[in-house]
Structures are given as structure tokens and as C-alpha cells.
Amino acid sequence: MFSAAIFDMDGLLIDSERAIMNTWITVGHELGVHIRPIDYAEIIGRSLPECHAMLARMFAAKQVFQEALTRVRQRLHSPTSPPVFPLKIGVHGLLTVLVNAGIPCAVASSSSGQEIRSRLARVGVLDFFNAIAGGDEVARGKPDPAVYELAASRLGKSPGNCLAFEDSENGVLSAHRAGIQVVAVPDMKQPSVEVIGVSLTILENLDRAIECVPAWFGVEDLAK
């Protein structure tokens, strides 16, 4: 049994990955660069510097990439009208069950700590979390284990006492390498053989996780 839960954010808690990808594809098209979803999928779950390095190679010319980055930021990070990425299926229900049962929860995301707090606050779930660990706080991003190790330490838990929830291959490998068992909830990419091999289970959405809470966390009555 586990005594804490750690969640990825983009593509797992909120439906943001698809919108972000489509923004990059649209901007690329405007600048004459064709970005395929299958190529973009390799970026998902990585740290921001790594994402930018991979995208820069897709745009080839540094000047073109910088213009693309400016346009994407204008559309995704507007201070006056920032996008609201909706919650994924089952998120609110699962968090409610865990918090009511006294299970501490954390976020371990490749996004910055500020972005995590902002996006989760806009959909009303920030207060469910006892700790936040962002990609800007670690030297290396997922699939490196650092961000999951940081999240576990901020909860005051050993990795073996935590259960992670992830949507991306890089995220699953990050949690696994931190010594944390992980439930995979695929979003934009079907799980690889490696992901299936290291995951505790594969779920369609987080709503499916609610029925597993008693077995995973020792909660006897989900109605409490």
C-alpha cells in the first residue's frame, strides 16, 4: 500500500498537451515549417529547455525558431487572457477521495512551478496539493528522476511509499527511475512495451483509478 500520491500535470490532470502541440503546429505552418504530431510526441514530458532544443532542430533556422517561440508564448501565456486547460476525466473525483482519506498529494511536472500553480488554480484544484515540484527546480528534466525525487521529499515521503500517475513515456520512466511505482494513463501516445513493463497498471482515465484507491492506499470507505 502507498501513503502518498504524485501527479504529473499536462496531459494527466489537465487537457493541455494537445492544445500546446496544435499551437506549435499552427505557428510552424505560418512560418513554412511542417511539424508532424508523431515528431512532436517525442517532446511530451520533457523539461522546457529540452523541448525547446528539440523544437529548434525542427525549425532548423535559429531566427525562425525564435519567431515561432514568440508567437507560441503570446498565444499560450497571455497575461490578460491565459488559456484555461480543462480538467481531464476523473481528476476532481480522485483528488477528492484521496484528500478526504488523508492521503497527501503532490505535482511533479516538467512545467515551471509558477505555471503549475497558475494552471491548476484556474481550474480550481490547486488546493488539493500539499507540494509542487516544477521542471525549473531540477537540473535535468524527465525522464531523469530528479523532479519526482523532489516531490517525494517535499511530501516527507520515501519514494517507495508514493504512487505516481503519469501520461507520457518520459514521465513514467522518470517516476520509475526515482523508485516510485507508477500508474500510466496515456494521453496522446499509446504506451510502449517499456512503459507497460514498468507500470503498475495502465488506465484509460483517472476515473478508473478511484475504484483502486482502497487497494492502493488502504482506504476502507470511499464515501468518507
Distance CA 103, CA 70 (A): 40
- Distances in Å between the Cα of 180 and the Cα atoms of 142, 147, 175, 176 are 14, 12, 5, 5
The correct answer on CATH 3.30.505.10 for the domain covering 4-15+86-217 is no
- Could you tell me the residue ranges of all domains in the chain? 4-15+86-217, 17-76
- pLDDT at position 144, please? 95
Q: What's the pLDDT at 218?
A: 92
Q: pTM of this prediction? A: 0.85
pLDDT tens-place values along the chain, 224 residues long = 899 999 999 999 999 888 889 999 999 999 999 999 988 988 887 878 888 999 999 998 888 999 999 999 888 876 666 677 899 999 999 999 999 999 999 999 999 999 999 999 999 999 999 999 999 999 999 999 999 999 999 999 999 999 999 999 999 999 999 999 999 999 988 899 999 999 999 999 999 999 999 999 998 766 55
The grid coordinates of residue 39 equal 515528431
